[in-house]
């Protein structure tokens, strides 16, 4: 499995793989044994040849007229996407969204283990009862020694987003998952993912406004 990770997959492929996994998991729960790319194609409206190509990146091949083994495919996808292995993460900024993510136990099913939260406001820290320690941001260096994390989940106010990311990276964090609307910049070699909740909200609001007037 491991050498496959040296291939940097194109992002559109990476975006489709979790769709396949979600669909294959549903089939598995229904005790379906085999699935063809044509069937996946119909369910997800993705071209069947694209599916075969995407899955070939994983080294998974379907058999003529039988298709893919559902169990094998689910296993390969989950392994490849990193969902089967635990990855430690800190939440930076324990305001409303940060707390919500700490409370969302569903993320641990996908391999994300939040082990601590950090904030600058002692009142937030004192109030919190979230099942993980909430510490002052200055303690992130000590935390990285005692119980290091790979991922910093950034849920601070936008005006301190860049500075907070810099602190986390300075302490040894290797990936930033940015939930702020601020466009954080990181050095090469640091993994960066933006989950633009506010951009998606804006997309919904503006599309609603335009369809409403037709």
Per CB under 8 A, contacts with a copy of itself among 127-156 are: 150-151
Give the other-Cβ count within 10 Å of 114's Cβ. 24
Tell me: does residue 57 bind a copy of itself (CB under 8 A). no
The only residue of 73, 76, 112, 137 in contact with a copy of itself, by rule CB under 8 A: 112
The only residue of 31, 105, 123, 126 in contact with a copy of itself, by rule CB under 8 A: 105
Residue of 157, 159, 188 whose CA lies nearest to 174: 188
Identify each DSSP E strand in 20-121 by its residue range: 34-35, 68-69, 87-92, 112-119
Helix (H) or strand (E) holding 177: strand 175-178
Give the interface segment with a copy of itself, choosing from 66-74, 94-102, 129-137, 138-146 (CB under 8 A).
Answer: 94-102
CB-wise, 42 or 63, nearer to a copy of itself? 42
Tell me: does residue 22 bind a copy of itself (CB under 8 A). yes
Tell me: does residue 116 bind a copy of itself (CB under 8 A). no
CB of 138 to a copy of itself, least distance (A): 23
Query: Which residue shows structure tokens 């599916």?
Result: 51
The only residue of 10, 59, 122, 158 in contact with a copy of itself, by rule CB under 8 A: 158
Indicate if the alpha-carbon torsion angle 32, 36, 38, 44 is positive or negative. Answer: positive
Q: CB under 8 Å to 32, separation ≥6 — which residues?
A: 70
Separation of alpha carbons 163 and 45, rounded Å = 42
Separation of alpha carbons 80 and 1, rounded Å = 7
Tell me: does residue 56 bind a copy of itself (CB under 8 A). no
Tell me: does residue 206 bind a copy of itself (CB under 8 A). yes
Give the interface segment with a copy of itself, choosing from 63-71, 79-87, 113-121, 126-134 (CB under 8 A).
Answer: 79-87
CB-wise, 141 or 205, nearer to a copy of itself? 205
């Amino acid at each position: 499995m491991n050498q496959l990770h040296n291939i940097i997959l194109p992002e559109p492929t990476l975006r489709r793989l979790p769709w396949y996994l979600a669909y294959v998991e549903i089939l598995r729960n229904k005790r379906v044994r085999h699935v063809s790319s044509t069937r996946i194609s119909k369910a997800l409206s993705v071209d069947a040849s694209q599916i075969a190509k995407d899955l070939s990146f994983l080294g998974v091949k379907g058999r003529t007229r039988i298709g893919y083994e559902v169990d094998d495919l689910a296993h390969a996808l989950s392994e490849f996407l990193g969902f089967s292995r635990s990855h430690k993460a800190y939440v930076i900024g324990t305001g409303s969204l940060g707390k919500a993510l700490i409370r969302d136990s569903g993320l641990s099913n996908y391999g994300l283990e939040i082990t601590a939260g950090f904030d600058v406001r002692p009142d937030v820290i004192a109030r919190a009862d979230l099942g993980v320690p909430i510490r002052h941001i200055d303690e992130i260096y000590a935390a990285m020694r005692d119980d290091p994390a790979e991922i910093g989940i950034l849920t601070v106010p936008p005006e301190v987003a860049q500075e907070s990311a810099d602190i986390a990276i300075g302490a040894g964090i290797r990936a930033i998952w940015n939930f702020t609307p601020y466009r954080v910049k990181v050095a090469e070699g640091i993994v960066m993912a933006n989950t633009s909740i506010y951009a998606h909200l804006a997309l919904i609001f503006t599309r609603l406004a335009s369809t409403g007037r037709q």
